[in-house]
Structure 1
Amino acid sequence: SKTSGNEWKAQEFVIENHDQYPRKMCFDVFGADKIEQFNIQMGEELTVSFDVDARQWQDRWFNSIRAWKVERVGAGAPMAPGAPVPPPAPSATPAFTPGDVKDDLPF
């Protein structure tokens, strides 16, 4: 079988939680199959499960946050103010970062 190279594609997303002071987090989805399977759309309410890993690059350490499970939050169950969100999967709204994630860092 022939591979197209798309298997190694990564897409970056930014989510924001529903805390009193909302925080944003950037994570990536690695692999064309997972990008298609998760099918993350802007404005959706999601629960994201992810692994955190750190890599060293030129004497500095950088976190890599990679999603391994993405679930839609039930439309029939609105979030109550102050409702607890079970860790380690914050419920959040994604935003897109254009382009593929590269291993070389922009700074």
Structure 2
Amino acid sequence: MAYELTGKIKLIQETQTFNSGFTKREMVVTVEEGKYPQDINLEFVQDRISLLDPLQIGQEVTVTFDIRGREYNGRYFNNLVGWKIEAVSSSQESAPDQAYYSENPQPADFDDDIPF
């Protein structure tokens, strides 16, 4: 199952390569939903690390990711593994509101005299 979040890039780490040949690159995205901003760490692995190359700190992005979990020595760990990332443009930010209002128009003859 895929998940999605939108926020501003706070940090992009350097690529890490391990002895096994596994490579990963992590980034932190600050999400402004809820009462307090949340810094969310996401990792991109193997051929997906190149998705981070054109991005810059402070840029607003939408990241599509999967949640991976594993057990190690009786403890459980989760990772957010990104596989798609898109820069958010100012025209995209206003589009959802326009689409919502155009698809959900208010009734033309709204009557305040409802009998119940």
The TM-score, its normalising length taken from structure 2, stands at 0.54
Secondary structure, counterpart of 1:41 in structure 2: coil
Q: What's the offset of the Cα at 1:55?
A: 0.7
Once residues 92 and 65 of structure 2 are traced to their aligned partners in structure 1, the CA distance between those partners, rounded to angstroms, is 23
Question: Highest CA radius of gyration, 1 or 2?
Answer: 2
Mind listing any 5+ residue stretches in structure 2 that lack a counterpart? 1-16, 98-116
RCO (CA 8 Å, sep 6+): is it higher in 1 or 2? 1
**Which one-letter code corresponds to 1:74 in the other structure?**
S
Secondary structure, counterpart of 1:16 in structure 2: strand
Residue from 1, 7, 25 that aligns with 1:11: 25
CA spacing shift, 1:27–1:71, aligned 2, 3 Å: same
Secondary structure, counterpart of 2:66 in structure 1: strand
CA contact (8 A) 2:42 2:81 kept: yes
Once residues 74 and 31 of structure 2 are traced to their aligned partners in structure 1, the CA distance between those partners, rounded to angstroms, is 32
Counterpart residue number, 1:36: 50
Residue from 60, 63, 73 that aligns with 1:58: 73
Mind listing any 5+ residue stretches in structure 1 that lack a counterpart? 84-107
1:60-104 deviation per Cα after TM superposition (whole angstroms, max 9, x unaligned): 00001100110100144557xxx8xxxxxxxxxxxxxxxxxxxxx
Which aligned runs of 4 or more in structure 1 are off by greater than 6 angstroms? none
Once residues 22 and 37 of structure 1 are traced to their aligned partners in structure 2, the CA distance between those partners, rounded to angstroms, is 24
Once residues 49 and 24 of structure 2 are traced to their aligned partners in structure 1, the CA distance between those partners, rounded to angstroms, is 8
Note the aligned Cα RMSD (angstroms): 2.4
CA contact (8 A) 2:51 2:85 kept: no
Counterpart residue number, 1:22: 37
Secondary structure, counterpart of 1:37 in structure 2: helix
The TM-score, its normalising length taken from structure 1, stands at 0.58
Aligned length: 75
Secondary structure, counterpart of 1:21 in structure 2: coil
